[in-house]
Amino acid sequence: MKKLLAVLLLSAATGAVTAQIRHNDKFPSPESATYDNNGNDLRGFISTNKTALNAKGGMVAEQSGNSWGYLQVKNVKVPGQNKKGELNYYESFDVTLALMKSADGTKATWWAREYNNAQGPMLYYKVGEPLAIDNVKYGEILTDLRPKKVTLVEYYDTVFSPKDFDILLGNTIYMKGGTIKDNSDYGTMIAFYNGFLGKFADTKDAVLEDKSFITFFKGGSTNYIGYFNMVNGKVSGFVEDIDAPFERDRVKLINDVFKKLTGTYIYVYGDDAFGMEKIIRQRAEKGNMKMDRRMTTMSGKFNQDM
């Protein structure tokens, strides 16, 4: 029995090692990231999203008085490149494509990490002919976005990870592209979350570190849910449209939301929870979490309630 167990453990360890791909190349191919990756590149992203970028980003800039930032992002796989300029399709890199729209214009960028290591230094190289949107190093865009009250990040892939953005940006809302069907709802969202952020005396207050927030607001014909954690003294989370016509759908939605909350003290904020307040309370009790309900007319601050 001991020999069998040892063999199984060795097999599991060997499998884990072989499943990890060691990147020998330090850099992705800049040409592939920029314009030569079968449309899964910065030029292709601009081509498919430029109209939506201008419409949605313009709406965000206008409705917020240019106090909110707006990004469209996509993760793509790009081949590595060795010192000889040879492409390596067996060790692809995760490359982030990003388009920014503000009242001052539009900018585009991409970045990756050395050796495709999530902790490695960020990389960018400008190559090729000019694109339809000014192609700049990511630092220029980040400099524009850091002072913003909130940056809205719309993502256009299924493997989106907020890790880089939580480090690089301030208060951030992530939303899958297509969530908002009517562009006028951007104005509704901006007004709602400006009010929400106004309920914090200071987001960097240590008393907020174990707090999470579930928020609800209504657009023209769509109900929305937003869920947020405190990340490095900033508010960070996701907004989704609510498609939950039945009780079982609402239970599943709230269970999925709770899996993404890091706090042990949950605030529910908004004037209408769309039939989910009881489900949230039951889920909080099941997880030994404390829940408080707050309306948009609350007079105090979240910091002062503790």
The verdict on 146 and 24 lying in the same domain is yes
User: Which pLDDT value is given to residue 13?
Assistant: 37
User: Which pLDDT value is given to residue 21?
Assistant: 58
**141 within domain boundaries:** yes
- Going by pLDDT thresholds of 50, 70 and 90, the confidence category of residue 57 is very high
Name the percent of the chain lying above pLDDT 70.
92
Of the two residues 304 and 55, the one the predictor is more confident about is: 55
pLDDT at 235 over 50: yes
The verdict on 36 and 143 lying in the same domain is yes
- Going by pLDDT thresholds of 50, 70 and 90, the confidence category of residue 16 is very low
pLDDT at 284 over 70: yes
Exposed e or buried b per residue across 115-132, where buried means at least 16 C-beta atoms within 10 angstroms of its C-beta: bbeeeeeebbeeeeeebe
User: Which pLDDT value is given to residue 8?
Assistant: 35
The verdict on 114 and 191 lying in the same domain is no
Whole domain around residue 53: which residue ranges? 20-152
The verdict on 228 and 292 lying in the same domain is yes
Overall size of the chain counted in residues: 306
Cα-based distances in Å from 140 to 106, 137, 197, 211: 12, 6, 26, 33
The verdict on 140 and 201 lying in the same domain is no
**224 within domain boundaries:** yes
The verdict on 280 and 208 lying in the same domain is yes
- What is the rounded CA–CA span in Å between residue 289 and residue 58? 40
For the chain, what is the domain count? 2
Of the two residues 191 and 10, the one the predictor is more confident about is: 191
pLDDT at 47 over 50: yes
Rounded mean pLDDT of 99-104?
Answer: 95
**186 within domain boundaries:** yes
**162 within domain boundaries:** no
Tokens matching residue 284: 């909080």
Q: Are 160 and 172 in contact (CB under 8 A)?
A: no
- Going by pLDDT thresholds of 50, 70 and 90, the confidence category of residue 22 is low
**166 within domain boundaries:** no
- Going by pLDDT thresholds of 50, 70 and 90, the confidence category of residue 17 is very low
pTM for the full predicted model: 0.91
- Going by pLDDT thresholds of 50, 70 and 90, the confidence category of residue 24 is confident
- Going by pLDDT thresholds of 50, 70 and 90, the confidence category of residue 45 is very high
